Amino acid sequence: MIGKRLYRARKAAGLSLRELAAKVDLSHAAIKKYEDEVAIPNSAILLKLAQALQVRTEYFFRPETAALDGIEYRKRGTLSKKRLDAIEHEVIDQIERSIELEGLFPVPPLANFAPVEGLPKKVDDLAQIEGVAERVRNAWALGYAPIRELIDVLETHGIRVFMIDANADPKFDGLAASVNGMPVIVVASNWPGDRQRFTMAHELGHLMLANRLAAEIDEELACNRFAGAFLLPRQAALQELGRHRSFIELKELALLKAEFGLSMSGVLYRARDLGIVTHAWRDEQARVFRQQGWHITEPGAAYPVEQPHVFEQLIFHALAEDYIGESKAAELMGMHIGAFRKLRSLEGGHAASYQ
């Protein structure tokens, strides 16, 4: 068990055998023997390995419970194999902690994912996706109001969402996969909130539209349409913008972005898709955005990044009900016990400490 988990932690840290060996004053051959389980590290070496890899020693003894199936990366350009391995192993560690925590509850604390009932069996036109998004919103009792905490909405309905820390490769947007039949979405924490939200809504589109699209419909375009319609539903867009416009002020776009968490470019797409503005006018605005560099960084205040809450809430729920003690809670949070106690008493922040 230790060997496989040591290998995984090393991959997650992006270290070669020689690089890890140098950090703990051992030979790379010794590290290889530990990973191959030809030898077993003693407690002192295990502590050094844990510190070098920024994990708790308990990590090496955690049972294998997760494997990512059907991984689909959302990335710009090409990520190195080394970086993809590190991302995958980091994600698996987060998922394993989540699965272990949920298994401590006598009754599962979160629902299993299920596609919304009543969706069309076949989508032959992109315009039909408006109705699909509305059906999902209605089934989840979201109405047409802005969705303030999208991660919480998804996790409440059985889709696990994980964040890769702010040091993630800038080319990485996120990934979608499944674990034990449970859909998983992973999002880069270093992107603005509106970009994170669109990635999550896009992946929700894949789940809801699976096996429903006609052969001639591009799945990525369909999921983009779903994401926009889910974040800024038709009724809300028509109420905010009106049915027909010849021009939309930049400030209007910024206000809608702040309200609905959809980028200004995304709002322009919604206006075009709903026939509020013409395709030609939207295309002209897209050219302006590119000329100004706004297709990379939009003007005005950035939308706040999404913050996951469900996992942390379950930690303190389990602690309150005596399903776990402080030491286990700290381990699952990836924190030093002292830092966890400060967090528990509202003295500290949320930053994890692996010392």
- The answer to whether position 112 is within a domain reads no
Least confidently predicted of 72-81, 138-147, 214-223: 72-81
Cα–Cα distances in angstroms (integers) from residue 110 to residues 45, 160, 178, 207, 317, in the given order: 38, 10, 16, 18, 13
Within-domain flag for 349: no
pLDDT at 230 exceeding the cut of 80: yes
| Single-letter amino acid code for the residue at 318 | A
Q: Note whether residue 26 is domain-resident.
A: yes
* 268 pLDDT above the threshold of 60: yes
Question: What is the span of the domain harbouring residue 22?
Answer: 1-64
Residue 5 belongs to a domain: yes
The pLDDT of residue 352:
45
Q: Per the domain annotation, does 37 fall within a domain? A: yes
pTM of the complete model beyond 0.75: yes
DSSP category for residue 304 = P
Is there a domain that residue 18 lies in? yes
Mean pLDDT of the chain: 88
Checking if the pLDDT of 238 tops 80, the result is yes
How many domains does the chain fold into? Answer: 1
If pLDDT is split at 50, 70 and 90, which confidence band does 351 have? Answer: very low
Token couple for 224: 């983009």
Tokens of 122: 């076949």
What is the pLDDT at residue 69? 80
Tell me if 11 is assigned to some domain.
yes
Q: What's the pLDDT band for 285 if we cut at 50, 70, 90?
A: very high
Number of Cβ atoms within 10 Å of the Cβ of 185: 24
Contact 7, 33 (CB under 8 A): no
Give residue-wise pLDDT tens across range 1-30.
788 888 888 887 888 899 999 999 999 899
Which stretches of 182-263 are DSSP H helices?
193-209, 219-231, 234-241, 250-260
The torsion angles phi and psi of 115, rounded to 5 degrees, stand at -60, 145
Q: What is the pLDDT of residues 149-193, one digit of tens each?
A: 999 999 999 999 988 764 556 667 778 888 888 899 988 888 899
CATH number of the domain residue 21 falls in? 1.10.260.40
